[in-house]
Structure 1
Amino acid sequence: EMVRINTANGSVDAQAYLVTHSSMEKRFGDRFHVNLIHELWLRKRIEKFIKRRTRPGERTADAESERRADRELLATTERDLVMSHYRSDAVSDYYLEHELDRPRPSIKHLYDDPQARPFMKNYLALVIKQVLLSQLEEQIQSRYRFELEHMRISERYFKRSVSVLAALQMVNANGRAVDMIIERSLQTMPCDKHDLIDYIKYAVRAAKSMFDARIVRARLERIRSNLQPGLVPLGIEIELSNLGPAAVEPQRSIQKKVDAVYDGFKYFYDFRLDVLSWKLGGYIDDHTGSTDQARRSGFLELAPGRLNIRGELSRPATADPWLLNQLIHEIVNFYDVPPHSLHLSFQLRKKQLGNQKILPLGFVKCLLVLGGGPELKGTGRLWVSRMGYDEITQYPDAAFGGTERRDEELVFARTSKRRWYLGADAIADKPPAQATTYVQQYKFIRLEQRANYEPLILCLKGLQLSYNPADYLTTEQLRSSRKLQRQYEQLKQWAAVPTEISPQTISKFLKTIQSGLMNEGHHRPNAFAVIYGWQGTGGV
């Protein structure tokens, strides 16, 4: 039946259907699964709960802004409720209220802390900017969900990658306006007289005025026209720091550097930035492996698709090298913190597990030239900075902060397990097939602000598919192989004073990558490799 409905752009014609779930699936496909209806219903219930709790009965714009601000502070709780609800029975009102009815976070305990006071304005500026991004992304998700769903190739991927990219582009393209919003907020609301919720409210109101549907549509159309996803799920981890390698021990104690802006992100959790930045997977990594929310200094790490640090719960950001490269670029530009390192993850196929091989030394050298931070030293000689500064060297048996270094390993690449489904508990249904996956993560890469990482992503993907690399190099590997010990010493000497890699090694390296890319689709090239025309041989 043809009907007329009122929208933000006025009255429009629309088609109304009276359907069953089966007929809906037949006509529109399984993307209109009942899970979507359940999710929207659950989010509506969460909205009603917040209306009842925050300034109940008020219908003013200020009250609505405060409710949106409260919802930002409950964002990870809402995310986890939606995920645990996936393919399960309805969440009860009791359980919903139990999870959402929490004290509002406050930063008043920092006002009288002499160590924290010098950093308050810097953290509040970051809070405002993070909320601007989150609110813009939420509006994009809300208004263009249908278009975004058609850009997502599987429910196993992080569904916000495209909307996050569009929001990042909008914020980064309007840097002067964003700076003015932050400056005005801090001028009109002195930090010793206001609490965290006030700054989040301010950012919520500002984001509403920044949103421009015309610009969003143009951004989404440009992203859509550039998408060419492959068949390998991809992920990233981005490390930022004002201190470089001195962000963590033992370099922090050795170099004795001081972060005058964020104090090594020590107060990240006090300002609830882990919640406010969840769409970028933000947390503080001090390289100890600890995942609690105690104050710690370390790298600001961003990983879109990371959903639960403690449970290693995450979804691939995308299968598209172009989109992944755009995310890297925009995230680095969003934060006013120097880039440090990049980790690239590639999901392993089932047949690859248990059949991985250690990379040849020549291939490792090629990869370090491409991504290991080759740069000129003060003497004018070239070296590989990621190895030269001992940034990917670890000493597992040494006490934390100590100097004992009996065993050594190179954290160049590691295989690890991931889960994308929050299930197997009291409220979730049986996990679907492939709920647990394994990824190969390459950790040797220097992160630079203006670098194009798309060629390196394609290079590692081709290598992953053709050669199937194993961990490189663990203490166990080095203990059990004199050959690897010799190669490791040769690699360290070469990285300090690089010499030319032989044409034979380079040719073999490129042919291996080409073989992987041209057989990505199970003995067939993926369309992306065909479109590229394997121009990587000239660009790698």
Structure 2
Amino acid sequence: MNNSAVPKKNGERKKSGKHQRNNDKFDLFVYGTLLNDHHVELLLHRKVENVPAVLYHYMRIVPKGGFAFLVKRNDAKTNGRILKNLTKEEIERIDSFEDEGHLYFRRSVYVRVGEKRERCMTYIGNISALNESFWNEVAFEDRFGMFIEKKIDGILAEMDTDRPDITRRVLHELMSSEADSIIQSHFEGNYICNYIMIQAFEDAKPPNLSQLIETTPEVLPYAGNYMRLACQHIVFNQFVELIRHQFPDAVRLSHQYFRHGLAVLMGFIYYNGKKAAINKLFEEKELDKIVSGRSYRDYARIAIDIVDIVYHKKEIKELVSFIRRKWYSTPTPLGAELEFSYLGVNAINAAPGADKVYDSFYWFTDFDLLRRTWRLGGHVDSHRTILAGQRRHRGFFEYALGRYQILGDLSRPLFDCPWGMSLLINEAVKFLDIPPHSLHISLELTGSHSHITDRPHKEEHLACLMMLGGDIRPDANGKLREWRVFNNELDTNFQKSIHFSDRKCHFSKPEQEQSEASEVMEYKFLRLHKEETDYECLIIGLKGYQRGTHARPVSIRKKGEPEMPEQIFLRKWAAKPQPLDKTAINDFLNTVEKGLLEENKARRLEPRKIKVLEKLGKYLSARNKMIAEYEKR
């Protein structure tokens, strides 16, 4: 590639690109993003020889939140380095990354390398285009992601759809889980060639609805509901994509977190705010019905048209401001799993047709819902091992938030803000419109020592946890029960062993060693509520409790082992909840406070945490009073 393809700018004479060392090798002076070796490796998939260099008569400018660019100035100089011996294909790849011809113009220049004067190429900024494109704060990962997405779009554009009305945007949505896996793989330094990308997209083609219904007529009573659920997630996914691309600085998180996490939260909030309008359009367009002659891609196209009707960028700016005002970070990364079902605990052993809406999600994969819900870790959880090739099974519909690959169980925490996690959980429940069942909260416990030991729990502490997160209400005869344990909802294995909490290792990359995985305590006993619930206090309480006790998991016993004392106590207390004295409640609160101080390496709690402790105390006192009143009856 030579500079004859580079357009003139402001009357500047085009310069020859004949500075290469031989016929197919080029030298490139870099001064910004590509000063970082890791960025160069991600882009070119190899280590590149380089030498320090100085470019005279050009000034390097780095606008706030933007990328460096060069402008001519006679008395200026810019320090950088030369990337040596680049191939034509590598120069073309960097051209694409830099958006050569629009954001930057590639020019021939002379630089100083020690005492020598050498000719090479560099990129000169197109100031007006840069200002227009990067008015927000932009990081390397944003531009690298855009670069890979552009490459993916090029491949999708070449795929034959036989339908001019099926746009690249529709294809991208239907294949977005594969596209994201490719982008994630590139971020991790694993280059995927075009052939493998094409094969991945070929395998991701949506189902043939008419063929599915013709060959499997028993799916017909549920088909309209499944297509509505698919379209609902398509609209949500499009909101998330628009927010990520238009407000990259507002949704950017540290590399340790799931990179879609904050955009997912905003997508839920925005969808729920537009829900009435969306529902009306869904009804008008009959997206809850199987329409003769309408393909899966047609449903996707109509759903995306609805996005263009209801989405307004100005409203997202207001949402971004709201999130920024409320957001705070803590040292404990968080994750969550949410289970939903029309049959409650009976979902895992449901008879065919017992669930009149989704047949307990038996047809989940037939309608390609793994791909529609990939950002949310959507899958069917039957609470038992699923054999390879067993495509259909009944169970709960679950969001495993932060789990971006169900097969292989790869996940990252969503973020570290308890307020944000509480809001996300509530918004997910509003969004889905399927009765909520249970909630798991995961705490990633980092530090110089383990926060999970073999130390047993105090019985009074377990009772406090159940009062905070369990489901305490009377049965049909007026007797008070804690239903998560009493109803055997935590007996998730054949041994009927209470699975109250679990120690886990979370892997974020394929083939990661266990020593590299994150140590996580997952609390599984929580009830997920339909009504708005303050999960922020609960999450902070769980964090403080685990760090304050370093207590052991209360989980499945090995075959032949007796139940743990904690499991025996939980069964007894759930069958007949007993009130605690004030000393026991205060001891629990003191333990939580101790753990929060340890988490923050502080001597005193900040005002926010003090208010949370006060809320926890009031809530425990109220629940304890209710239990005492029932005991007197």
Shorter chain as denominator, the TM-score bin is: 0.7 to 0.9
- Whether the 8 Å contact between 2:359 and 2:394 is mirrored in structure 1 is yes
- Other-structure match for 2:502: 414
Measured after TM superposition, the shift of residue 282 of structure 1 is 0.6
Higher strand share: 2
Measured after TM superposition, the shift of residue 438 of structure 1 is 1.9
Pair 1:528–1:48, CA change in 2 (3 A): farther
Is 1:440 paired with 2:521? Answer: yes
Q: Map residues 85-164 of structure 1 onto 2, 5 A cutoff.
A: 85-88=186-189, 90-102=191-203, 104-106=205-207, 107-112=209-214, 113-149=216-252, 152=253, 154-164=254-264
Q: Provide the aligned length of Structure 1 versus Structure 2.
A: 494
Pair 1:213–1:413, CA change in 2 (3 A): same
- Other-structure match for 2:573: 494
Q: Distance in 2 between matches of 1:349 and 1:188?
A: 46
Pair 1:369–1:291, CA change in 2 (3 A): farther
Residue from 170, 174, 181 that aligns with 2:274: 174
- Whether the 8 Å contact between 1:517 and 1:529 is mirrored in structure 2 is no
Measured after TM superposition, the shift of residue 235 of structure 1 is 0.4
Is 1:357 paired with 2:445? Answer: no
Is the deviation greater in 99-108 or in 309-318? 99-108
Q: Map residues 34-433 of structure 1 onto 2, 5 A cutoff.
A: 34-55=140-161, 62-64=165-167, 67-88=168-189, 90-102=191-203, 104-106=205-207, 107-112=209-214, 113-149=216-252, 152=253, 154-186=254-286, 190-249=290-349, 252=350, 258-290=354-386, 294-350=391-447, 351-352=449-450, 355-396=453-494, 407-422=495-510
Is the deviation greater in 47-56 or in 226-235? 47-56
Measured after TM superposition, the shift of residue 236 of structure 1 is 0.3
Tell me the alpha carbon deviations over residues 452-497 of structure 1, each in whole angstroms, 9 at most, x when there is no partner: 211111110101211122210432499367xx44x54343222111
- Whether the 8 Å contact between 1:73 and 1:272 is mirrored in structure 2 is no
Is 1:521 paired with 2:600? Answer: yes
- Whether the 8 Å contact between 2:339 and 2:397 is mirrored in structure 1 is yes
Q: Distance in 1 between matches of 2:517 and 2:313?
A: 38
Q: SS at the partner of 1:270?
A: helix
- Other-structure match for 2:543: 461
Q: Distance in 1 between matches of 2:348 and 2:212?
A: 24
Measured after TM superposition, the shift of residue 368 of structure 1 is 1.0
Is 1:475 paired with 2:557? Answer: yes
- Whether the 8 Å contact between 1:414 and 1:472 is mirrored in structure 2 is yes
TM-score (norm: length of structure 1): 0.84
Q: Distance in 2 between matches of 1:74 and 1:448?
A: 33
Is 1:510 paired with 2:589? Answer: yes
Measured after TM superposition, the shift of residue 319 of structure 1 is 0.3
Pair 1:68–1:435, CA change in 2 (3 A): farther
Structure with larger Rg: 2
- Whether the 8 Å contact between 2:278 and 2:310 is mirrored in structure 1 is no
- Whether the 8 Å contact between 1:518 and 1:529 is mirrored in structure 2 is no
Measured after TM superposition, the shift of residue 40 of structure 1 is 2.1
Q: SS at the partner of 1:535?
A: helix
Structure 2: any 5+ residue segments left out of the alignment? 1-8, 10-29, 36-59, 68-136, 620-633
Measured after TM superposition, the shift of residue 530 of structure 1 is 5.1
- Whether the 8 Å contact between 2:501 and 2:525 is mirrored in structure 1 is yes
- Whether the 8 Å contact between 2:451 and 2:547 is mirrored in structure 1 is no
- Root-mean-square deviation (Å): 3.1
Tell me the alpha carbon deviations over residues 112-136 of structure 1, each in whole angstroms, 9 at most, x when there is no partner: 2331111111111111111110011
Measured after TM superposition, the shift of residue 185 of structure 1 is 2.1
Percent identical: 26
Is the deviation greater in 509-518 or in 82-91? 82-91
Tell me the alpha carbon deviations over residues 358-387 of structure 1, each in whole angstroms, 9 at most, x when there is no partner: 322211111111111011212222210111
Pair 1:459–1:479, CA change in 2 (3 A): same
- Other-structure match for 2:44: none
Q: SS at the partner of 1:499?
A: coil
- Other-structure match for 2:629: none
Pair 1:84–1:25, CA change in 2 (3 A): farther
Tell me the alpha carbon deviations over residues 140-199 of structure 1, each in whole angstroms, 9 at most, x when there is no partner: 1110012222xx2x1111122221111211211222211112112227985332221110
Q: Distance in 2 between matches of 1:29 and 1:409?
A: 55
Q: Distance in 2 between matches of 1:510 and 1:267?
A: 46
- Whether the 8 Å contact between 2:481 and 2:574 is mirrored in structure 1 is yes
Q: SS at the partner of 1:329?
A: helix
Tell me the alpha carbon deviations over residues 15-40 of structure 1, each in whole angstroms, 9 at most, x when there is no partner: xx974533899986999765544332
Is the deviation greater in 98-107 or in 190-199? 98-107
What letter corresponds to residue 221 of structure 1 in structure 2? S
Pair 1:187–1:215, CA change in 2 (3 A): closer
Q: Map residues 18-37 of structure 1 onto 2, 5 A cutoff.
A: 19=32, 21-22=34-35, 34-37=140-143
Q: Distance in 2 between matches of 1:189 and 1:48?
A: 33
Q: Distance in 2 between matches of 1:524 and 1:478?
A: 45
Q: Distance in 2 between matches of 1:20 and 1:278?
A: 31
What letter corresponds to residue 362 of structure 1 in structure 2? E
Structure 1: any 5+ residue segments left out of the alignment? 4-16, 397-406, 425-430
Q: SS at the partner of 1:248?
A: helix
Q: Distance in 2 between matches of 1:281 and 1:146?
A: 24
Measured after TM superposition, the shift of residue 348 of structure 1 is 2.1
Is the deviation greater in 94-103 or in 43-52? 94-103
What letter corresponds to residue 285 of structure 1 in structure 2? D
- Whether the 8 Å contact between 2:261 and 2:414 is mirrored in structure 1 is yes
TM-score (norm: length of structure 2): 0.72
What letter corresponds to residue 504 of structure 1 in structure 2? T
- Whether the 8 Å contact between 1:25 and 1:32 is mirrored in structure 2 is no
Q: Distance in 1 between matches of 2:559 and 2:288?
A: 59
- Whether the 8 Å contact between 2:156 and 2:172 is mirrored in structure 1 is yes
Is the deviation greater in 217-226 or in 495-504? 495-504
- Whether the 8 Å contact between 1:235 and 1:318 is mirrored in structure 2 is yes
- Whether the 8 Å contact between 2:452 and 2:521 is mirrored in structure 1 is no
Q: SS at the partner of 2:365?
A: coil
Pair 1:291–1:188, CA change in 2 (3 A): closer
Q: SS at the partner of 2:600?
A: coil
Pair 1:264–1:537, CA change in 2 (3 A): closer
